[in-house]
Chain A
């Protein structure tokens, strides 16, 4: 037996998994890149741009469905060449914290902002005709929205959606992050509020000046366009069904307890059906008991990893695993 000061540091120890997501540019199918050389050891509370901290996730499972097959030759049919027959990777977990992004990723379809409705509007499952928006004025940023006298239409604590009017365009819509794909203007009834119904450019009013709204967190889609409007949001909603699929890049970090950090990077994740759901379905939300009958509710999320071409060598891949050894840890 010999003494070693470094062996234990080769064991990654973690307490929890943190999830970071960034939008894929849907028009070009370009993922957000996680560069371990530049970003790997980032402060977990302050992820580098464009990564968004989605908090603690539980029951984190990485499932590889990649299969290998052999070409067999010779008189005894021995394996002579091995190759990968299919490339498949999935990831599943429970979001323990709820928010707009967590719901959108767990739901997988368009994620709707329920806009404050006109009292005389007909009832609709996602909210009827909304109250008129307030015009955004020049000089607005992601954290301060200039609205002039329109500031009186909002109260501290209100949730708001900030985006442009729908102008009969087709394709992906939403400031900064694609919130939906419009195939034809008729599908969305040419509703000028449609983009604000699906936009990720939302925030909560933390304060106000005489002419501007101060946001609790920066708007996800960045500074609003000059012709954007602000509308009050009452709730978030999603649906079972729909043709749109969310697509995001993701990084999962095993929060290091013994020095070594492990990161999993998925360039393109698309919501999918959990592996367990093949025959009998699955639970969208999971109860985590506090003291019966009190329970917390977690959002179950499942994704399939879409392929990405690695520019270093042209290989097609679906996910990456990186390990940052503890300082002074043995390397093998």
Chain B
């Protein structure tokens, strides 16, 4: 268990990094920030809040929701309407506090939706959220007044009222506003896990009967946890509206909900900080990979499936498994075994990616008039060679990986055994 001082340092370091990041990508020649980087960093920030709020339901309360984006999106729509109302009504309301409005919107809708959904647990809950997600998504396309139909609601963040006198015309000002709200939200969500509701949410996830026999109604616990998670999802949605100045139905769509699920799961749903890692990774893959390849959705999907099958604890889970070995100071013994599986792993990955890209190119890329290029190397997808290379790498790499992983597991199991006998598996 980390000590309190360790955790505080991590917060400070993270805050410092977040504040400094835009300047690393600053173009000193033209004196301009990279708009692309700032937007991506802002997206990471709000996805972190979104994914953490999702994990309040999934990881902490055992509620798998397929409709979390509904709360996110509704927070966004609420904010858009609020911003438009502030402008046209000439009301003074600082932009810095606008995310609160989104949060309250998410909270209010969370009460309504939560009331219906949390009557059930587990699979039935998941189904209700699926149904509600489709319902609200379809409604968003249909109705003009609140949702603006297909074109959504546009707004303008420059409402000329600010607590610090900023106009928010420059992306870096928006970014720092996002950073502020991300840190506040993450801190509040973390504190929530140390409160009665937070703990009892974990309790009813693990054992609802015992929860009843310490006097709590598990259904009410689920309800309140849902509502609080809706508040933070609403804040995330609000940040989204502020960054993009438009909110459309895909802010509430099923694919947005899937994003939260993927981000949380890949990062790791047990513990608290997994979704932070996951959200960062998913946004980087979306922004970065999508520039390089059409098939980035496929890669994320495959990564997700692989994690579900072999690493259900996510990245944080994988790191956590190393803890006992680190405690007995034998982590370095894993370096060579890791290299041994890394090589065939990379070959298999190479083969897979090449195959995917070739196939994608033949059906989609070619019709779009693109050429298949890797750096400066031109690849003709019509010939057999690249295909043979891809399939060969995939097969050989795969078989080699299977062999190597057995050796790895032997070393791993041995170290875990030693860790158990020497240090004890828990303190």
> Do the two chains belong together in a single complex?
no
